[in-house]
């Protein structure tokens, strides 16, 4: 097999041809859909070879059966064009012409879920990044922008609803029981934002009046049985539209905005112009079927896709290397929105926890890449945590360095300068620079350099000189293909905390900075001398996680306990609690490795927990976060060699000892947060539920009698899925299978008709910590509700097992690895995008002991022997390099 080639940012060339207008006609049939495409083409003046000689027109196209090509009304003979598996090339075209192609495609056989496919009997599309080439021949690149007119023809009984981008302009009946609708999208867009949906759907309709007084029709289209799960998405959509007007001055620009829920979808959702297509898991929610976390995810994803209307659609990306231009910025926007709608400190804690576990692991692994990669083999592999989450952190640093007003001026300028254009990251940063007068030359390294910087901090107090000198040193370890790392601009928000728990006034080089400051670390090492310091302070560093780095400071556990109580920054109070817990967990891990299973948990952590449980009532939502021990995945990230068994034992033991000592407090916490009244997805109620369920989880960790009773009663009362799922999970994960198994059975009987609930049923079982789980995973793969062609099912069963059940996935007999590899091999044929994502845990083998490394490599090599898709090929080659 010829090896797939890499594409390089440095090779970018502007397109030789532009498409002035795109007219599409779809005659829908599941196994043979005919697509007629009429393109008005114009050769770019710079690309013309002479006065009338034009460069070849090279169109992308894959899995298409070509029926006909004509130019300006004349059908071409087969020797007048060249056709390959990936391209259609035409030579000697007039500088302006009309090209018509007719192709036939097979949506029913499309299990890759890119292009036009069938999901639960409806037609839908996914064109980002390069799916449009599976629909018709086209210059499938984001810097070719056109207006689209789309006519969708289909059988009226099967597909009463026919949707595409823009506004419906014509509809009518046709012979043979068919009908059609024509849609016109007046906005210039690249083909990756094209969408089509056809099916038997019903809508939840509402409207929104924009800031300039225009009425916009809002429609959420779903299968009839899901109509009672659309209210939360609609509420979130309206809140997002309002927020974007108020915070960014962005108004919606069409008369209609539609969302469609589909069951088979590779990602979360897609921002197609005026017609967002969503994975049903990111749009459908009601309190019987969805947890609080799912509600928050719906709110966040609805906002994310809506915000793309400006950051992504009105201003799009010049090429796919610029992906973070739209994704990093849009994630930053949706994170800010969710923070405004809920508890801002909790949102920050959750986002940082995710970044530090998953993105830092990516940045330390074989597929590490910069926020703007320099090359890729398969662009689908680059929809990563680095592009999205680290990209958002980079925008957040820009926003914080500029301050609210200058950042808003910068974003206004960016949208004004680039509206209707395909832009680059330089365009974004240059608008920020122009609006603020700040030089971003060195800052741009954040986009080019992979890896997580480490900042080592140390402090010296000089009692005689009354100074406190803080020294910061930055280093970034080499990443694949990038050995040399240059110093970055690292904003470190900080304060100095006095012994009585107050922020000291900061004076640096004679300048009074107030009680908090942002130090800008720009060199490999820098010292900052604070004057007028009477007594040794405790530094509070990287407040609010002001930069995506690993910051080390040699805190004593007493200092951590002190900051956990007194830091004026809520994020850092949580962070210090996590550091203290991590230290205590590391003691227990060491004890486990020595064979000492009687070891006791550090008293200082017990005291800290007692303080949390009995002290002044603080923000409930933050308290729930503070009562959660660092996850196994986060603990693993901190270890040189990951010992999954020690980590699992230490965390379980710490939980059990906390529960034993603080049993009464946890019971009291449970009861104090049992709520009556109607369910609402408000963050106050969510905080109560998470506190209550955290308490229950501690009690169930020791299989406490009262805990067992409470869990069973909670499951039986069944007021909402958050409480049901929490109780069911604890019962299923306990040793008491005589309680867990019947509960699982009853749950399946009640919910077998609801795929999203069944996803949860799978996830609950495959996270069971006992060793019997692997057989259960294999057994469940045969369950009628499971399907390898449905990405949600694959994620719920296989992804959850491999990603969250770490002790069992990493079993020393290698059976967990083998199971994952078997699935990857199957999926490589069915859905390469999902195959290349689900494989991730196997690619991280270097983090484990030699025996596990060997087992994981064996499985990767077994995968490498297959005929691989580009997606899996790229990941496996990088992992084994």
Residues that bind Zn ion (CB under 5 A): 327, 330
User: Could you say whether residue 380 binds ligand 0A1 (CB under 6 A)?
Assistant: yes
**CA distances from residue 306 to 301, 303, 331 in whole angstroms, order as listed:** 8, 5, 11
CA-nearest of 258, 262, 311 to 282 is 262
User: Could you say which of Zn ion, ligand 0A1, none residue 383 binds, taking C-beta under 5 to 8 angstroms by partner kind?
Assistant: ligand 0A1
269 binds, among ligand 0A1, Zn ion, none (CB under 5 to 8 A by kind): ligand 0A1
CA–CA distances in Å: residue 642 to residues 68, 654, 808, 809, 876: 59, 18, 14, 13, 21
CB of residue 243 to ligand 0A1, shortest distance in Å: 17
Torsions phi, psi for 672 (to 5 deg): -65, -20
By beta-carbon proximity to ligand 0A1, the closer residue of 142 and 701 is 142
Instruction: List phi, psi (to 5°) of 571.
Output: -60, -45
Query: Vertex 296, ends 294 and 298: CA angle to 5°?
Result: 70
Residue 866 annotated to the active site: no
| Residue 380 interacts with, from Zn ion, ligand 0A1, none (CB under 5-8 Å by kind) | ligand 0A1
Among 257, 376, 383, 428, binds ligand 0A1 (CB under 6 A): 383
Question: Helix, strand, or coil here: 533?
Answer: coil
Q: For ligand 0A1, which residue of 268, 769, 803, 814 counts as binding (CB under 6 A)? A: 268
Dihedral sign for Cα atoms in the order 771, 772, 775, 778: negative
Residue 268 binds which entry of ligand 0A1, Zn ion, none, CB below 5-8 Å type-dependent: ligand 0A1
Cis status, amide bond into 469, omega within 30 of 0: no
Among 62, 299, 327, 351, binds ligand 0A1 (CB under 6 A): 327
Nearer to ligand 0A1 by C-beta: 266 or 449? Answer: 266
Tokens of 817: 């690895």
**Applying CB under 6 A, which of residues 71, 124, 233, 267 lies at the interface with ligand 0A1?**
267
Please give the distance of CA 249 from its chain centroid, rounded to a whole number.
25
One of 106, 219, 244, 271 touching ligand 0A1 (CB under 6 A): 271
Least distance to Zn ion, CB of residue 327, Å = 5
The binder of 363, among ligand 0A1, Zn ion, none, by C-beta within 5 to 8 A per type, is none
Nearer to ligand 0A1, 335 or 685 (CB): 335
Residues 806-845 close enough to bind ligand 0A1 by CB under 6 A: 833
Nearest distance, CB of residue 304 and Zn ion, angstroms:
5
Q: How far is the CB of 327 from ligand 0A1 (least distance, A)?
A: 5
498: which 2 tokens? Answer: 């006095």
Rounded-to-10 torsion of CA 745, 747, 751, 756: -110
What is the C-alpha separation between 454 and 474, in angstroms, rounded?
6
Q: Which of 266, 452, 572, 690 binds ligand 0A1 (CB under 6 A)?
A: 266
State yes or no: residue 270 binds ligand 0A1 (CB under 6 A).
yes
For ligand 0A1, the closer CB: 105 or 541: 105
Residue range at the interface with ligand 0A1 (CB under 6 A); choices 225-233, 266-274, 438-446, 675-683 = 266-274
Q: Which is nearer to Zn ion, 331 or 584 (CB)?
A: 331
Kindly report each contact of residues 43-49 with a partner whose C-beta sits within 8 Å and lies 24 or more positions away, as own/partner: 43/16, 43/17, 43/93, 43/95, 43/96, 44/14, 44/15, 44/16, 44/17, 44/18, 46/14, 47/14, 47/15, 47/16, 47/17, 48/95
Rounded CA separation 810/851 (Å)? 11
Instruction: Give backbone dihedrals phi and psi of 19, rounded to 5 degrees, phi first.
Output: -105, 115
At 417 the three-state DSSP class reads helix
By a kind-dependent CB cut-off of 5 to 8 A, residue 833 interacts, out of Zn ion, ligand 0A1, none, with ligand 0A1
Nearer to ligand 0A1, 243 or 698 (CB): 243
Q: CA Rg, the chain, in Å? A: 28
CB of 329 to Zn ion, least distance (A): 9
Q: Which does 267 bind (CB under 5 to 8 A by kind): Zn ion, ligand 0A1, none?
A: ligand 0A1
Task: Return the one option of Zn ion, ligand 0A1, none that residue 774 interacts with (CB less than 5 to 8 A, by type).
Answer: none
Q: Which helix (H) or strand (E) holds 481?
A: none
Give the integer Cα–Cα distance in Å for 164 and 35: 14
Token look-up 């999208």 returns 185
Name the 3-class secondary structure at 149: strand
Give the whole-angstrom CA distance, residue 199 versus residue 162.
Answer: 7
Sign, CA torsion 845/851/855/858: positive
Instruction: Please tell me which residue in 305, 393, 625, 637 is annotated as part of the active site.
Output: 305
CB 392 to ligand 0A1: min, Å: 11
Shortest distance, CB of residue 319 to ligand 0A1, whole angstroms? Answer: 15
DSSP string, 330-382: HHHHHHHHHHHHS-HHHHHHHHHHHIIIIIHHHHTSTT---SS-SEES-GGGG
575's contact among ligand 0A1, Zn ion, none, with CB below 5 to 8 A by partner kind, is: none
Q: Which positions ≥6 away from 277 have C-beta within 8 Å?
A: 124, 125, 126, 195, 197, 259, 260, 262, 265, 269, 270
| Binding string, residues 104-143; x marks residues near ligand 0A1 by CB under 6 A | ----------x-----------x-x---------------
Select the span of 264-272, 334-342, 558-566, 683-691 touching ligand 0A1 (CB under 6 A): 264-272
Of the pair 302, 875, the CB lying nearest Zn ion is at: 302
* Segment contacting ligand 0A1 by CB under 6 A, of 267-275, 451-459, 579-587, 733-741: 267-275
Nearer residue to Zn ion within complex by CB, 126 or 720: 126
Q: Which residues contact 682 (CB under 8 A, 6 or more apart)?
A: none
Residue nearest ligand 0A1 by beta-carbon distance: 267
In the complex, minimum distance from the CB of residue 383 to Zn ion, in angstroms, rounded to a whole number? 9
Q: How far is the CB of 122 from ligand 0A1 (least distance, A)?
A: 17
CB of residue 459 vs ligand 0A1: minimum separation in angstroms? 41
- Indicate which of Zn ion, ligand 0A1, none lies near residue 30 (CB less than 5 to 8 Å, by partner kind): none
What are the residue numbers of the active site?
305
Per CB under 6 A, residues contacting ligand 0A1 are: 114, 126, 128, 266-271, 304-305, 327, 380, 383, 833
């Amino acid at each position: 097999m010829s090896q797939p080639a890499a594409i390089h940012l440095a090779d970018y060339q502007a397109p030789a041809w532009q498409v002035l207008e795109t007219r599409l006609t779809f005659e829908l049939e599941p196994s043979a859909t005919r697509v007629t495409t009429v393109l008005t083409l114009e050769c770019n003046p710079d690309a013309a070879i002479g006065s009338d000689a034009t460069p070849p027109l090279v169109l992308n196209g894959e899995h298409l059966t070509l029926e006909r090509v004509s130019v300006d009304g004349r059908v071409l003979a087969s020797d007048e064009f060249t056709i390959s598996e990936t391209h259609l090339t035409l030579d000697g075209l007039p500088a302006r012409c009309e090209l018509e192609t007719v192709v036939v495609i097979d949506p029913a056989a499309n299990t890759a879920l890119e292009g036009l496919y069938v999901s639960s009997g409806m037609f839908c599309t996914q064109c980002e990044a390069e799916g449009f080439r599976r629909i018709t021949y086209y210059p499938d690149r984001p810097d070719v922008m056109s207006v689209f007119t789309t006519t969708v023809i289909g059988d009226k009984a099967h597909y009463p609803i026919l949707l595409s981008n823009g506004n419906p302009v014509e509809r009518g009946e046709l012979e043979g029981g068919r009908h059609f609708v024509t849609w016109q999208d007046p906005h210039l867009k690249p083909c990756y934002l094209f969408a089509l949906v056809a099916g038997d759907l019903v809508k939840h309709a509402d409207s929104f009046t924009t800031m300039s007084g225009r009425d916009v029709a809002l429609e959420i289209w779903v299968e009839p049985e899901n109509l009672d799960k659309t209210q939360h998405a609609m509420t979130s959509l309206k809140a997002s539209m309002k927020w974007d007007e108020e915070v960014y001055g962005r108004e919606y620009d069409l008369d209609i905005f539609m969302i469609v829920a589909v069951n088979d979808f590779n990602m979360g959702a897609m921002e197609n112009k005026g017609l967002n297509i969503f994975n049903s898991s990111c749009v459908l929610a009601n309190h019987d079927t969805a947890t609080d976390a799912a509600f928050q995810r719906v709110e966040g994803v609805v906002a994310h896709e809506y915000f793309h209307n400006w950051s992504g659609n009105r201003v799009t990306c010049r090429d796919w290397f610029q992906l973070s231009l739209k994704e990093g910025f849009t994630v930053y926007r949706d994170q800010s929105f969710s923070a405004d709608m809920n508890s801002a400190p909790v949102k920050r804690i959750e986002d940082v926890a995710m970044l530090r576990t998953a993105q830092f692991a990516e940045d330390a692994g074989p597929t590490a890449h910069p926020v703007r990669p320099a090359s890729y083999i398969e662009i689908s592999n680059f929809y990563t945590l680095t592009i999205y989450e680290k990209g958002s952190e980079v925008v957040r640093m820009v926003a914080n360095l500029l301050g609210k007003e200058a950042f808003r001026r910068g974003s206004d300028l960016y949208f004004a300068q680039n509206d209707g254009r395909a832009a680059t990251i330089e365009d974004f940063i240059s608008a920020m620079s122009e609006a603020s007068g700040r030089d971003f030359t060195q800052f741009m390294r954040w986009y080019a350099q992979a890896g997580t910087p480490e900042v080592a901090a140390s402090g010296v107090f000089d009692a005689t000189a009354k100074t406190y000198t803080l020294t910061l040193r930055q280093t970034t370890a080499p990443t694949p293909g990038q050995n040399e790392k240059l110093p970055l601009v690292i904003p470190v928000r900080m304060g100095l905390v006095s012994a009585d728990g107050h922020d000291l006034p900061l004076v640096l080089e004679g300048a009074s900075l107030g009680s908090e400051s942002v130090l800008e670390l720009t060199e490999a090492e820098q010292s900052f001398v604070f004057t007028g310091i009477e007594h040794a302070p405790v530094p509070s560093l990287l407040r609010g996680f002001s930069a995506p780095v690993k910051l080390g400071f040699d805190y004593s556990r007493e200092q951590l306990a002190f900051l956990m109580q007194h830091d004026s920054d809520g994020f850092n109070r949580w962070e210090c609690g996590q550091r203290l817990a991590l230290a205590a967990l590391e003691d227990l891990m060491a004890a486990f490795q020595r064979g000492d299973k009687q070891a006791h948990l550090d008293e200082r952590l017990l005291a800290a927990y007692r303080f949390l449980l009995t002290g002044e009532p603080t923000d409930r939502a933050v308290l729930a976060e503070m009562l959660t021990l660092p996850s196994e995945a986060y603990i693993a990230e901190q270890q040189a060699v990951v010992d999954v068994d020690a980590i699992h034992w230490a965390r379980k033991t710490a939980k059990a000892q906390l529960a034993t000592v603080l049993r009464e407090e946890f019971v009291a916490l449970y009861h104090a947060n049992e709520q009556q009244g109607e369910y609402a997805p408000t963050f106050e109620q969510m905080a109560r539920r998470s506190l209550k369920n955290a308490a229950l989880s501690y009690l169930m960790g020791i299989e406490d009698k009262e805990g067992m009773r409470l869990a069973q009663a909670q499951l039986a009362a069944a007021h909402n899925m958050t409480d049901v799922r929490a109780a069911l999970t604890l019962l299923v994960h306990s040793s008491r299978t005589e309680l867990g198994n019947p509960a699982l059975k009853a749950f399946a009987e009640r919910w077998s008709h609801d795929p999203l609930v069944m996803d949860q049923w799978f996830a609950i079982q495959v996270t069971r910590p006992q060793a019997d789980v692997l057989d259960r995973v294999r057994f469940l793969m045969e369950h009628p509700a499971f399907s390898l062609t449905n990405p949600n099912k694959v994620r719920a069963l296989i992804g959850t097992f491999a990603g969250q059940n770490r002790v069992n996935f990493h079993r020393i007999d290698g059976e967990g690895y083998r199971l994952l590899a078997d699935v990857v091999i199957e999926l490589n044929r069915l859905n390469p995008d999902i195959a290349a994502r689900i494989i991730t845990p196997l690619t991280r083998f270097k983090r484990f002991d030699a025996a596990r490394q060997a087992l994981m490599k064996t499985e990767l090599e077994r995968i490498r022997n297959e005929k691989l898709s580009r997606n899996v090929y790229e990941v496996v080659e990088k992992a084994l390099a």
